[in-house]
Amino acid sequence: MELYELLFVPTILFMTIVAPTWIVLHYRSLNRSSRGLNEEDRENVEQILVTVDRLTDRIAALESILDSDHSEWRDQEHQNSNTRRSS
């Protein structure tokens, strides 16, 4: 028997069983490791949340000012949205 005849069966087994399993497990581990946020992304999310909190506070302040100065502004908004929907 020559060398290629001795390596034929192990090569076929490697190509049909070991290699595909190895590739699937490799990409599965890459996918799992990339799921988490890195430190820069985490900081960006924190900054965005702080900005959202500030904007929410500003909206609440503006609504309270409008409520005190123009108490019927909410009714006008609902009337305008109803007329837009019916058009």
Q: Using 50, 70 and 90 to split pLDDT, how confident is the model at 73?
A: confident
Q: Does residue 45 or residue 32 have the better pLDDT?
A: 45
Could you state, in order of their start, the residue ranges of all structural domains in the chain?
1-36, 38-87
What is the C-alpha separation between 18 and 8, in angstroms, rounded? 15
* H-helix segments, the chain: 3-13, 19-35, 39-69, 73-86
Q: What is the pLDDT of residue 87?
A: 57
- Alpha-carbon radius of gyration of the chain: 32
pLDDT at residue 55 in the model? 97
Q: What would the pLDDT profile of 37-71 be if each residue is shown by its tens digit?
A: 788 888 999 999 999 999 999 999 999 999 999 88
